[in-house]
Amino acid sequence: MYINLAQFLIPKISSICSFLINPFTVYIVWNDKKLQLGHYRYLLLYFAIFNMCTSLMDMLVPMCVFNYRYAFSVFISDGFFEQFSEFNQILIAFRCSFISGAYAVLHAHFLYRFFVLFNNQFLTRYFMPYGILTAILYCYFHIIYWTIYCYYYCGGDYSRRLYIRDSMFEHHGKDVINMTIIIVQYFEGTPEAMYKSRFGIICLSVLSFISLALIFYFGYKIWYRLSKQSSDMSEKTKKLQTQLVKALIVQAAIPTCVSFAPCILSWYQPIFALNFGRWLQFAAGIAVSTFPALDPLALIYFVPTLRNRFIDTIMVFKFSKKYQTSTSRISAVPSTA
């Protein structure tokens, strides 16, 4: 289904950028001798892999948001999984779960920075392998939690599909009965559909707001500790920790702005039968796809050593390519001897 040019191109461009930027960032971090990030490199690798998995899901399961009166829906807009099947319904629920998975990965980063400042010995002793395994299992919990509630409670059953059927056909020319879609209907539906919709959104909202609260809590504790003049760390270490925390705060702000905020607006707008226009619904689907590409740029920007290495690597690549072109041109000139 073709929605518009932006909906078609931007998620694909963002995914390509993610597959280029994330491995490049990992390469820079792992080969840098100045920062000495230690075990934190494994968390950065973990985050990069998660970002690329998210981008892969964006390419396989492109999503678009559609709201009608008291109902919110998100559907697969094109690709192999656009047509309805139970497997495809599980797949779109699984794709939605990556929104919460991003916060699980961020929690691991904030917790790591917290232990660096408050209990570094515990971190040194237990992070490898127990800490990284716990972080991965915690992310799995978020993904499984969201997948279950999206599929069982927010799935597009027949009554909910009938509710938005005419409006969907009017705007997109598709019969919603044959689409892979998640629908939340607050009012004007069957008691079962309304109960499951409300219960599902409440459960998803609880985990989402807890995730956001944890980031604010650990972010505040870390920043307060770094701002204390009596900290027992050296100025160089303190400067590096401040840079990493700044990058982490921006990395947390990115999914909040491009994933969490659009979700909340889309979820709660139909409760009051508000209509903010189709542009907001288009923007929600597009914004979610940009997170994996934007996320590693925050780390590069706020850590000068990584930023300089990033620029140097690009310049070396550019100079090398230019040199090879010049050499090939010179060798192509026929000799007059």
Residue 335 falls inside a structural domain:
no
Residue 253 falls inside a structural domain:
yes
Distance CA 218, CA 216 (A): 6
Task: Count other Cβ atoms within 10 Å, centred on residue 225.
Answer: 19
Distance CA 101, CA 87 (A): 21
pTM, rounded to two decimals: 0.86
Percentage of the chain modeled with pLDDT above 70: 90
**Angstrom distances, CA of residue 272 to CA of 68, 81, 268, 279:** 11, 32, 8, 18
Distance CA 148, CA 96 (A): 11
Q: To 5 degrees, how large is the angle CA 137–CA 302–CA 238?
A: 85
Q: Residues 196-203: what's their mean pLDDT?
A: 94
Q: Which helix (H) or strand (E) holds 205?
A: helix 191-227
List pLDDT tens digits, range 155-199. 888 999 999 999 999 988 899 999 999 999 999 989 999 999 999
- Residue with the bigger pLDDT between 122 and 196: it is 196
List pLDDT tens digits, range 45-62. 999 999 999 999 999 999
Peptide bond before residue 129 is cis, with ω within 30 degrees of 0: yes
Distance CA 337, CA 333 (A): 12
Range of the domain at 150: 5-313
List pLDDT tens digits, range 210-221. 999 999 899 888
Residue 332 falls inside a structural domain:
no
Q: Please tell me the total count of domains within the chain.
A: 1
Residue 329 falls inside a structural domain:
no
> Which CATH number does the domain housing residue 212 bear?
1.20.1070.10
- C-beta of residue 104 within 8 angstroms of C-beta of residue 139: yes
